[in-house]
Structure 1
């Protein structure tokens, strides 16, 4: 189904939609308060944007530099052209080391590659150890947000879910109790795991090391207890030097959740004695996006989720309505690049208000790219006849001042004098939830001309 249809399903539960909207706006407000406390916040954003632009302009050189330094540290580096190759590489590493149980920290790349079902189909147990990720895994769902994967779930729903899968007692959604039970459940998984898979927040070219940011320490628990650590990273995660980390770490957590910094910013540079460390660098459409001049800057994204927290469409339609690994505004830029036909409706799931661009820590011009995708889609993807007809008529009316004036007068007359059932019919979706403002006799143009005469 199209995004609008999926959103309509989400909107059937009005109380949940209102709660989802308020919860995400609360995170957006925390972001604002945290950002305003940082002296030179805009300078940090400018620096981060410039660094990312530099990386994208010299990506081949930085990738080679990163690989060389990682190998010097004793890390095995693998290259994957697409999701299928990524999954095969990870599976082959696990096979070679006779791994049957895996713990995994949050990784949107492995979600993008559908790694979990691939490994499970090959007889390997995969347990997501981020609490939100574990919740959606138990529910057999995908994350609805890249930082808050279970934001669409109420604590009462989690309570029922844990009773079913973890054997917990009914607690009326007590967060403390549920968290403690999840901790006990996951601790056992950590101790029994043969390998740990993590994502990568930042890969440092001049050291060959990676940084993983978590609030729960689950990446550390997995990587330090297991004999094999596999880090899966999109090739855009590079930054040139370790000194640049200070810029991105200050931006990331504040933009994501309003925290000054994530609880754990873990550096992995080399394997511990007696263990293995692997890094899988994945393309999966990134070089193709890099080749699109209008959309290249979308690869600057550091996956903070700020654009989702502020977007009025995302907040009231839910992440699952996007049917994409990365939902929300940034996902609506990335997804059409992967499959234009499948995701051609996503760039239209936006008001183009620009709030996403305003909060982006690396200053991606998100709303402008969404508008550019619309232009591409209207040319390259067949549009419904009704939509094309309406747009043609609207184009002619808006291009002719007399027709526009007549249409305005007609609309004002109908809205003011027609019976309510005519105005508030099935053709007026806005009227289902709100009354239209009072209609005046004159428009701005008439008012302005009268004012000019008096003067």
Structure 2
């Protein structure tokens, strides 16, 4: 869905802030995730060393991407897999649909994959007339509600359990009779079980592609991916070309970082490795195993100063700790990827002109980089988008004029200090009981939060007074 169809960023933010249940829904999940991650990191004395090693592994792969892609393809083909290459999202969808049609697929199950969302695969399947069944519990909720995912780990983060219970009562044949989580999970299990058995094709993403074996690693917490990839006669893997790791040893390092950062666990309930189709004597598995390797702007990112972003493990830690995401949720960002990582990726995928507001929505406090398991310098990358937006003249005229006025004052300290002193004293006149609830010409700052009453003197005035006092 285009940014135009989703409306202006400011409009999306206002809608999110006006939603009375959204912040509750966000904090229920991200608050727990922050606590569990902190505990997991505290219990791992070598986390900092592992983090540095993970960063170096990913940087090495990105620098030698052509070598590892060639090695992965060679080993995947040797296992009996069929490897396809896609430059763009449209090409990737065409390849997947052609495989489905060749297999005369009427029903497709899909395990959660943000890359699938990125290339628009759910919409492509729906438009082709093939029945699409989202098997991840949160994606099942999103599909029933006609939503878009709002978080890369918990796609239905924006829904409270009360809302989910009502949704299941409307759509499930044997709905839950309350909003107890276990009861709702049981209802979804009953609803999806036959869909797994009926599917002709199963589609998954890949957390890692293992170059020296041609294998694929898929990580889930529900077991739905295993049913999606094992039962149908055809298994299709869609993966970005940056998902490579040189060997199983390297994958294990990255897995430990990924899981602790995403959910705070030591390892996920299901960590599954796939290599080729079913062999003679195997009790289960697909008859055909297809891997679609997708660029979709990644080589442009590599050449355009965004190579650091190709380290991303898609753990979601940056958004769980982002003060902005926790206020507005994922949908307000407008793209497939929300939060700090989305604010970097969306301009690369959709164009800076359409997504320039995202970089400006960041406070640049740096908490996203602090918790990133592979130390991606997200604030630096966001500043880079701001600078490019300015160079290309994409900033509104009012913003450029205001910054020009500020720059003039900053170059004339005497005028700047007078202006700051006047502004502080004017702001104090609007305070009530120590807080400023409304400020002229500053609706965007005070509409959804109050400002504390500023001190009676500016920092420079206070500093000068203290220096005079010391001299006395």
TM-score, length-scaled by structure 1: 0.96
Inter-partner Cα distance in structure 2 for 1:19 and 1:268: 35
- Equivalent in the alignment of 2:288: 276
Inter-partner Cα distance in structure 2 for 1:419 and 1:148: 40
Match 2:332 to one of 310, 314, 321:
321
Match 1:286 to one of 284, 295, 298:
298
1:61 alignment partner, SS class: helix
Quote how far apart the aligned CAs of 1:401 are.
0.8
Quote how far apart the aligned CAs of 1:415 are.
2.4
Matched, 1:130 2:130: no
- Equivalent in the alignment of 1:368: 380
Give structure 1 regions of 4+ aligned residues with deviation exceeding 6 angstroms. 419-423
Which aligned pairs between 1:145-184 and structure 2 lie closer than 5 A? Answer: 145-169=151-175, 171-184=177-190
Which aligned pairs between 1:372-391 and structure 2 lie closer than 5 A? Answer: 372-391=384-403
CA RMSD, aligned part only? 1.8
Native 8 Å contact 1:213 1:264 kept in 2: yes
Native 8 Å contact 2:331 2:338 kept in 1: yes
1:267 alignment partner, SS class: strand
Native 8 Å contact 2:176 2:187 kept in 1: no
Is there any run of 5+ residues in structure 2 with no aligned partner, and where? Answer: 1-6, 280-285
Which 10-residue stretch deviates more, 423-432 or 108-117?
423-432
Which aligned pairs between 1:209-224 and structure 2 lie closer than 5 A? Answer: 209-224=215-230
Inter-partner Cα distance in structure 2 for 1:54 and 1:419: 55
Inter-partner Cα distance in structure 1 for 2:185 and 2:76: 36
Matched, 1:331 2:346: no
Is there any run of 5+ residues in structure 1 with no aligned partner, and where? Answer: none
- Equivalent in the alignment of 1:409: 421
Cα distance change of structure 1 residues 434 and 77 upon mapping to structure 2, 3 Å threshold? closer
Matched, 1:199 2:205: yes
Inter-partner Cα distance in structure 1 for 2:373 and 2:379: 14
Which 10-residue stretch deviates more, 300-309 or 87-96?
87-96
Inter-partner Cα distance in structure 2 for 1:129 and 1:417: 57
Inter-partner Cα distance in structure 2 for 1:7 and 1:173: 29
Inter-partner Cα distance in structure 2 for 1:71 and 1:168: 44
- Equivalent in the alignment of 2:10: 4
Inter-partner Cα distance in structure 1 for 2:450 and 2:132: 51
- Equivalent in the alignment of 2:50: 44
Inter-partner Cα distance in structure 2 for 1:422 and 1:435: 6
Report Cα offsets for 1:264-296 as digits up to 9, x if no partner: 110001211371101000001111011012x21
- Equivalent in the alignment of 2:268: 262
Matched, 1:440 2:446: no
Native 8 Å contact 2:173 2:191 kept in 1: no
Match 2:441 to one of 427, 447, 454:
427
Which 10-residue stretch deviates more, 247-256 or 374-383?
374-383
Residue-pair matches, total: 454
Match 2:61 to one of 55, 58, 65:
55
